[in-house]
């Protein structure tokens, strides 16, 4: 029996074992077929190549296709992703789209009709009640204001006598358009001279007169009465009785929810 305690003997036996084992081994026949399709891969794998491999990009049999098509497709995918990203960022910059576009009558030339602002005396801006409507009446976005709301009518001002209140409200509401109503979809043009026009969106319009009928419970409240010629003045329809109030949140509209008071000075009332 052979002893393996001797190093030389061990090495000799090991060498014999290796050769005996190697005699039986031959390179598998399919080796060339296995490596041949991969011989077209680029020598130095690029980042794109590794990326395309990482996302399991298919390996075509044609090595030239593998070499060029996979990176090209990866670049294409990256470009599409970049374009989508840029579009997304631009959308965010532009902000939300207005809920509705104004009616044709409201799309006046520059200067654009504006929503009445509060004065610069730190009172909050007038708040318009947003009313969802089925038609194209402007709803949510008040137009920029160019007509200052009278300081004397603000909630934090000294109360005025009723005559002064009527005068202030009349002066303020003159040459404006009261836009939108959730029930009638009307637009009222209130000219400074007390005349005006009432229009139903998608329907007929009529000449009318208007006045500040009363100031309500306090100086910061007002009711506008609208009269259409031929109608009984003692029984004005409720829908023409508009009450506005300047409260803690700014100008508020309690009845029929007009959503904007637009300054139309020199435009609709000059004809």
Question: Strands 195-200 and 176-179, how do they pair?
Answer: unpaired
Does 15 participate in binding other proteins (rule CB under 8 A)? yes
Does 3 participate in binding other proteins (rule CB under 8 A)? yes
Per DSSP, helices labelled H in 120-176 are: 162-173
Mark the segment that binds other proteins (CB under 8 A) among 5-13, 186-194, 223-231, 236-244: 5-13
Q: Which helix (H) or strand (E) holds 47?
A: helix 47-54
Please count the other Cβ atoms lying within 10 Å of the Cβ belonging to residue 151.
15
Residue 252, strand partner residues: 245
CB nearer other proteins, residue 43 or residue 122: 43
Residues 6+ apart with CB under 8 A from 23: none
CB nearer other proteins, residue 7 or residue 122: 7
Does 23 participate in binding other proteins (rule CB under 8 A)? yes
State in angstroms the smallest separation of the CB of 37 from other proteins: 10
Residues 28-87 that bind other proteins (CB under 8 A): 28, 31-32, 34-36, 38-39, 41, 43
Mark the segment that binds other proteins (CB under 8 A) among 15-23, 68-76, 86-94, 199-207: 15-23
Bond before 15 cis per omega within 30 degrees: no
CB nearer other proteins, residue 62 or residue 101: 62
CB nearer other proteins, residue 1 or residue 89: 1
CB nearer other proteins, residue 30 or residue 104: 30
The site string for other proteins over 162-201 (x = CB under 8 A, - otherwise) reads ----------------------------------------
Number of H helices, E strands in the chain: 5, 8
Q: Tell me how far apart the alpha carbons of residues 268 and 195 are, in angstroms, rounded to a whole number.
A: 11
Q: Tell me how far apart the alpha carbons of residues 113 and 197 are, in angstroms, rounded to a whole number.
A: 17
Phi/psi at 181 (5° precision)? -155, 135
Q: Which residues bind other proteins (CB under 8 A)?
A: 1-5, 7, 10-28, 31-32, 34-36, 38-39, 41, 43
């Amino acid at each position: 029996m052979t002893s393996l305690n001797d190093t030389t003997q061990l090495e000799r036996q090991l060498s014999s074992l290796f050769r005996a084992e190697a005699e039986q081994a031959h390179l598998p026949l399919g080796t060339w077929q296995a490596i041949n399709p991969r011989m077209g891969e680029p020598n130095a794998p690029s980042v794109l190549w590794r990326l395309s491999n990482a996302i399991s990009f298919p390996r075509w049999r044609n090595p030239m296709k593998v070499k060029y098509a996979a990176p090209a497709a990866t670049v294409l995918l990256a470009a599409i992703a970049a374009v989508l990203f840029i579009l997304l960022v631009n959308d965010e910059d532009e902000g939300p789209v207005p809920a509705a576009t104004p009616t044709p009558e409201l799309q006046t030339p520059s200067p654009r009709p504006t929503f009445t602002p509060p004065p610069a005396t730190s009172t909050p801006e007038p708040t318009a009640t947003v009313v969802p409507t089925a038609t194209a009446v402007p709803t949510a976005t008040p137009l920029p204001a160019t007509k200052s709301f009278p300081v004397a009518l603000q909630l934090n001002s000294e109360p005025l006598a009723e005559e002064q209140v009527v005068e202030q409200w009349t002066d303020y509401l003159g040459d404006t358009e009261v836009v939108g109503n959730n029930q009638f979809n009307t637009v009222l043009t209130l000219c400074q001279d007390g005349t005006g026009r009432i229009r139903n969106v998608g329907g007929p319009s009529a000449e009318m007169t208007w006045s500040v009928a009363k100031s309500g419970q306090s100086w910061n409240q007002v009711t506008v009465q609208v009269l259409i010629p031929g109608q009984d003045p003692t029984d004005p329809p409720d829908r023409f009785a508009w009450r506005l109030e300047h409260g803690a949140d700014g100008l508020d509209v309690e009845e029929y929810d007009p959503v904007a008071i637009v300054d139309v000075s020199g435009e609709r009332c000059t004809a």
